[in-house]
Structure 1
């Protein structure tokens, strides 16, 4: 209902001639509807606030807020730099590519976070169970998201042509680089669960500060080549500078190990590379027949090879079979 209200409000505002203000009105209406719905369900009336806060809670909240602030800064600086130094057109291309790829991913991980943080917080003292639940959840999250992202990255030109038309072909290389960057983000973005649920927000803030510094540096370096350069620098710096450091920090916090974090992503990166090679081996008469067919073939190859590799190795095979059995049992 919230999403529908925001969409309808933005569409009506645009139809009424409000221009870019319609992009402001849509989220504002959605926020008001969400607030009203939550208040209606909870039936909570605010009382006089109590400003007495325990030092442990204050430290937890301050570090978490600090992480969110530096993360927000680094995630938005790319738009500021591109808009100022490369112009509105380049920014428009970059914005379309970013929203087309990363917003759907956020809409998967954010609702999952609302479920997993309370659940993992309840069992944070049982380290074996905590690790098992986190790993199982992320194996399936990676299985659902990473092959799809890889397929869309592989067919970036066809995806852009299908959704936006031939006038937006400049979006395709930006989309491809952001796709490479986001391959590991579906799992990397859930590492906050490990820090938050175990009260390790100080380590989370330290990671956020490092991640933001390296991200900003990548933006500045890539800006010389415009929006494509910014996207490419972001992708390359992620694999070289951020993912290895994040794996080490997770290992230190525990109970999830660096191996847990890297292996589940490595399997799907390997399947994506195999799918890429297989796609290149297809006859041009097949992949060039239509944009939609090319995207469908890439999706089939990526998901097919991903599930084949999962079936080969013991841990992902066990998780996959358990998940499928649970789904079948719930459908009865």
Structure 2
């Protein structure tokens, strides 16, 4: 019964995680197209230069306590309350520090206009600090459906705000305001859906129990944000805002694609794997099924995005953004493997080994910075290529720790990943050559989408893919239940 209940919770979590991320990416796609048509690469570059500061500050105010709360066996009101007040006070302190540091940030990038923009953008992590505990409550209790519903009004309001401001020629201020409206709206929704409420009992003792675990998550997440945003910081220093804008735009589309799958996995993986962390065989079985599910979706999605990138960029955000196409295609290769890295890190965390997660992320982050700076003289494409290859190869390091924790053999790992990667790659290559003679961009895009989708799903059916069968069976049962 317990196993059936966990399986049902996992399936529901993935289902609602898929709906949530699907709606989110669709709305981001629509609003992103409108904004990219109205704004310039330099506008995106201005906001992109600040991303590394906002994400690191947001990570500091959260301090890894969301994951720590999810991993805690027994939890109380005092645990959530301590996290709430710590997050709020830390968020306020960090905002004051960065508010005063805005002139130094502007001086680093040699962009005086960043001073007021930075002080406005940094309000985002201050606002988000008020809902850290509520978000943790929803995450721990696998309330994926509620989080999915919360995103809809946030995306609609923020996207509409961004477009209205862009239409009134407010340039990068529209992008910044869009972000703040999204954060404020989704935090209000988290308060609404979470039954937990803070009290004015400032007792931080529960944090001591969680700190040894959460501190490692905190350090890891800081380096993770540095890893994810180091390009914007380095390019912003070495190149013009326009170049940062091209990278930011390409990275945005790549992230939208990979985060659709990563978001589904993140919504359930760590809480589910934590619940069965004492049963090594069962955890391996669950992990392998998640690995196959991730590979089944990730490789065709990201290889497909690389395939349609030229037509997609040209038709949606116009020729002024075509320089971001090769950047996007390179990033998509790494983006296909990114959800697998996410799944591996969730398993490590579920085993309580936050130190492994921390050092793994720190080392890869340090190596990335070194190789990026070495590759700089050969241009931005070489920098991104080296970055992508390095991250793909680093999966073998993650595998070493996965094998040590749950005994997963390399043969079974390859068996769960390579068939999906190989079939998706061959389908995309065949589709490319079959559509190479078509001159119309619209017809090329439609042909690529149809041929690639039919080819991949058809081969999976002929190969009798169990994951595809299970997905279709679950979706079919959902429809039957709905009737």
Q: TM-score range by the shorter chain?
A: 0.7 to 0.9
Change (3 A) 1:255 1:35: farther
Matched, 1:328 2:476: yes
Which deviates more, 292-301 or 247-256?
A: 292-301
Q: Alignment RMSD, CA only?
A: 2.5
- Structure-1 residue corresponding to 2:439: 289
Comparing 242-251 and 255-264, the one that deviates more: 255-264
CA drift of 1:194 comes to 0.1
Q: How does 1:6-21 map to 2 (within 5 A)?
A: 6-21=158-173
SS at match of 2:383: helix
Distance in 2, matches of 1:105 and 1:18, equals 30
Q: Report the counterpart of residue 293 of structure 2 in structure 1.
A: 140
**8 Å CA contact retained: 1:218, 1:234:** yes
What is the rounded CA distance, in whole Å, between the counterparts of 2:435 and 2:185 in structure 1? 51
> Residue 94 of structure 1: CA displacement?
1.0
- The residue number in structure 1 matching 2:156 is 4
User: What 5-or-longer segments of structure 1 have no aligned partner?
Assistant: none
Shift of 1:321: 1.9
Tell me the CA shift for residue 162 of structure 1: 1.9
1:64 aligns with 2:217: yes
Which residue in 2 is equivalent to 1:109?
262
In structure 2, the CA distance between the partners of 1:35 and 1:255, relative to structure 1 (3 Å rule), is farther
Q: Tell me how far apart the structure 2 counterparts of residues 41 and 201 of structure 1 sit (CA, whole Å).
A: 29
Residue of structure 1 aligned with 2:229, choices 76, 96, 116: 76
1:186 equivalent in structure 2: 339
Which residue, 367, 370, 384 being the options, matches 1:214? 367
* Corresponding position of 2:248: 95
Alpha-carbon spacing, 1:284–1:4, altered in 2? closer, same or farther (3 Å):
closer
Return the alpha-carbon distance in structure 2 between the equivalents of residues 86 and 153 of structure 1.
25
Q: Deviations over 1:73-132 (max 9, x none)?
A: 121111111121122221111111110121232244225412332222222222233222
C-alpha contact (below 8 Å) 1:147/1:299 kept by paired residues: no
Aligned residue number for residue 425 of structure 2: 273
| 8 Å CA contact retained: 1:121, 1:198 | yes
Q: TM-score, normalised by structure 2?
A: 0.62
Match of 1:35 among 179, 187, 195: 187
1:5-28 deviations in Å (ceiling 9; x for gaps): 211222233334432122221121
Q: How far does residue 61 in structure 1 lie from its aligned partner after superposition?
A: 0.5
